[in-house]
Each structure stands twice: as C-alpha cells, then as structure tokens.
Amino acid sequence: MLEYLTREEASGYLTQRGLIIGKTTLQKMATVGGGPVYSIFGNRAVYTHANLDAWAEAKLTAPRTSTSDAAELDAGKAVPHASAA
C-alpha cells in the first residue's frame, strides 16, 4: 500500500531534499493550480512520494554552468549536461 503524506509532511519531504516549499504554498497551488498531484481523504489533501518527486523533477530546469545558459536554451542551443555517475 502507498504511504500518504499530509500537506505539512509533503512540505517537509520536499524541504528535506533541498526544495524548500511551505505547506501554505502547497495549499495555494491546490487552489489555483500548478502544484503536485494530490488526493483527498476525508477533508485533507494527501500526497504520495512518487507524485511529489515527479512534480519537483518537472519544475527543475536542465543543469546549468552559468546564468547565460538560460539564454542559450531559449535560443535552442545545446547546453552540455553533467554526466550521471
């Protein structure tokens, strides 16, 4: 069975991984859109690790070596990525 996290736990899960986000921000995103996928159990939103990880990965940009990398990406130029070890 999946493990479900409350909104506060979801905030802590992401923050522990270096992606700082407050539970109130997750609340607002649940209202206006743009946040991670969640389900409702009773009157509470609950999140899964997989959905939080997928959302965070989708929000991250490609690896960069400088601030000018963003302009190169916008211009369609290839930016070298660090190889996975």
- Segment 37-73, tens digit of pLDDT: 999 999 999 999 999 999 999 999 988 888 887 766 6
Q: What is the pLDDT of residue 85?
A: 44
- Is residue 79 in some structural domain? no
Identify which of 21, 4, 25 has the alpha carbon closest to the alpha carbon of residue 12. Answer: 21
Counting the structural domains of the chain, the total is: 1
- Is residue 81 in some structural domain? no
**pTM across the whole model:** 0.78
Residue range of the domain that includes 60: 4-74
Q: What is the pLDDT of residue 8?
A: 98
| In contact, 56 and 14? CB cutoff 8 Å | yes
What's the rounded Cα separation, in Å, for the pair 47 and 26? 11
Q: What is the pLDDT of residue 82?
A: 54
Q: What is the pLDDT of residue 67?
A: 86
Both tokens of residue 38? 């969640």
